[in-house]
Structure 1
Amino acid sequence: MFSKVTTAGLALLLAMLAPREAASAPQEGEDIIGETGYYVTRYEDTIPQLARRFDLGFVELMAANPGVDPWLPGAGRQLLLPLRRILPDVPRKGIVINLAELRLYYFRRDGSVVTHPVGIGRDYWQTPEIRSTISLKRKDPTWTPPASIRAERPNLPAQIGPGPDNPLGDYAMNINYGAYVIHGTNKPLGVGRRVSHGCIRLYPEDIEALFAEVPTGTPVHIIDHEIKLGWSGGALYLEAHPGQKQADAIEAGETPDYHVDIPGLMIRLLEIPGASDLQLDWTLIEATLQERRGVPVRISLAPVGGDVMPLPPLD
């Protein structure tokens, strides 16, 4: 599914890649931002280190490169950097967090968007799907462990002030819903994973930048979209991500088992204006849903030899 690149081409791509993602301003009618990148590993590299360097999360980098050892990927291995992505299909305003994607989007008023990986709630402590706003911003916050966490760790102090032991990091933005907070962390390895008690954590450098420009009252919309569809250059793209169970399997070093729901996708496609007029590559669609590597794959205007067929008409 992904084309090979030459050594010279890789060197050029690496020279062009910034360490972290910059803001993008999608053009009218475009749903995709960013560009796919590649990286050739050195002996000392690890997946967590590379994830932070390229502003990616652990699970999304592992999903894009199945079979890679996260701690010993080895020297000279070509990694796909999933830096190109379909924007969420919700009102693009304020902060949008897609749980399945383990990623936050901030849609600025000037039409540009910045995106960062996040850590979210683990099993039984899932981050909820909500619509709310940023109600309070705190620099150098004090953490008061809630009763739910104190029940697990009764030896915690009543409060933890600013400093390296504070799990909120240096910046926190309260969501006007329960006790949920978007914050930094003193454990960056948790970014891009499902490890929290429901709050949303970012790399320290990402929350610092976000904190500086997000005002109180900013809308917050938390969704859980494993499958995304979007347009670019008049072509339709599909992007598939692991769900909760599959992400847990990836973290455990196991091979995820993905459910391929072709009928469900067909229903969604029929709801997209213009999609019923396209020729679609169903072999590629099925492979994308099965692999779930988290990158946009063009599914319309399939190459010669693909399993091409139009969508069925509406009843």
Structure 2
Amino acid sequence: MAEKRKIRVLLATIALLPWLVTAPPASLAATPVNPSTSAEQTEEQVLLSHATTQSYDRQSWSVIGSQREHRVKGRESLLEIARDYGLGYREIAMANPALDPLLPGDGAKVVIPGARVLPEAPFGHGILINLAEKRLYYFFQEGEENLVITFPVGIGATDGETPPGDFTITTKLTEPNWTVPLSIWQKRPYLQRVIPPGPDNPMGSHALQLSQSSYFIHGTNRPWSIGRRATHGCVRLYPEDIPLLFRITPLQTPVRIVRQSLKVGVRMDEIYVEVHPDNSMSNSDYLLRAQELLQQKNLVESADLGRLLNAVRGKRGVPVRIDQERRELRAEGDDRAPGGNKL
């Protein structure tokens, strides 16, 4: 397992090298910081992000990525496989409900749900966090090209939900201390009030603070929590993802946190809907929302009501094709997308 991990790190390094040695465009230039590297780094801390940049067009190509398959090797768990493909736990578990998350079994076929409909965003440059799918999208532009990078995230649990709303990035911290909130410290008074950087610090290596709040987007020392409701309101990323987001996100970047349980997108003449479970919504609520989005995009006449109903009932959390052309969503994604560069 360790040898396989080293090979993956090497391949990721090769893929990242051209991007890392090139200064980011002015619009992406992060505020200079003085990162301090820990004297001892674990293997997990030196992993590189599997995130990719992808082009999109709101009018003609707003479904990105592709679905893939993976064959389990030995005692691999779905948690390990999810991380290797830039997924959160919930995403891979929903796509593979018949498999044991801890021991799916040598040779088992695992569906990798890498395709997704882009959420509705009010900007061309900024961060959008969709609580319904536990995923963060970073939209930006290079010249006239619209680009997006997306990361799985952990969000607030029921006793400390991540608040929806509009924010900006006001502070960027490397190797942050964690000041234990009073509400947590009262329940666990044995904790230090301030946790220094290191393996016991739940904020990880980097943190981005949101305006008008005590909430952060940060790393984690518990990577298995990504894709779950597991925080006290903050948004956490894999240890290998947060340095990348930190680097490309300038101060004052807008952040919008939403709950979009249903999304509609297009891929040329194909229409897709992506539906996520939401206990606050009935099937009628989903259908009303779908109708609103289809009308906004002038797609009502091209949509198939029967396929839409099946997608709403299934709530699979992956793009499902609903236009009147009776073809199934391909297992392998269409490579005709306008761009898509490995970071």
Q: Shorter-normalised TM-score: what interval?
A: 0.7 to 0.9
* Counterpart residue number, 2:321: 298
Instruction: Give the TM-score normalised by structure 1.
Output: 0.82
Paired with 1:43 and 1:272, the residues of 2 have a C-alpha distance of 48
* Counterpart residue number, 1:20: 50
Q: Is the 8 A contact 1:35 1:84 kept in 2?
A: yes
Structure 1 residues 228-267: aligned runs within 5 Å:
228-243=263-278, 259-261=282-284, 263-265=287-289, 267=291
In the alignment, structure 1 residue 212 sits paired with structure 2 residue 247: yes
Identical residues among aligned pairs (%): 39
- Secondary structure of 1:88's partner? coil
* Counterpart residue number, 1:108: 140
Among residues 62, 67, 70, which one is paired with 2:101 in the alignment? 70
Paired with 2:51 and 2:279, the residues of 1 have a C-alpha distance of 25
Distance 1:266 1:54, change over 3 A: closer
- Structure possessing the higher relative contact order (Cα contacts under 8 Å, 6 or more residues apart): 2
Over the residues paired in the alignment, what is the CA RMSD in angstroms? 2.1
* Counterpart residue number, 1:200: 235
In the alignment, structure 1 residue 120 sits paired with structure 2 residue 139: no
The amino acid of 2:112's aligned partner reads L
* Counterpart residue number, 1:51: 82
Structure 1 residues 259-298: aligned runs within 5 Å:
259-261=282-284, 263-265=287-289, 267-269=291-293, 271-282=295-306, 284-298=307-321
**Structure 1 alignment gaps of length 5 or more:** 1-14, 246-257, 305-315
Paired with 1:266 and 1:243, the residues of 2 have a C-alpha distance of 14
Q: Is the 8 A contact 1:167 1:186 kept in 2?
A: yes
Among residues 101, 106, 112, which one is paired with 1:81 in the alignment? 112
Paired with 2:98 and 2:167, the residues of 1 have a C-alpha distance of 38
Distance 1:77 1:287, change over 3 A: farther
Paired with 2:199 and 2:279, the residues of 1 have a C-alpha distance of 30
Paired with 1:102 and 1:144, the residues of 2 have a C-alpha distance of 25
Paired with 1:241 and 1:191, the residues of 2 have a C-alpha distance of 17
The amino acid of 1:195's aligned partner reads A
The amino acid of 2:216's aligned partner reads V
Q: Is the 8 A contact 2:119 2:263 kept in 1?
A: yes
Paired with 1:275 and 1:174, the residues of 2 have a C-alpha distance of 39
**Structure 2 alignment gaps of length 5 or more:** 1-10, 16-48, 328-343
Q: Which runs of 4+ in 1 moved over 4 A?
A: none
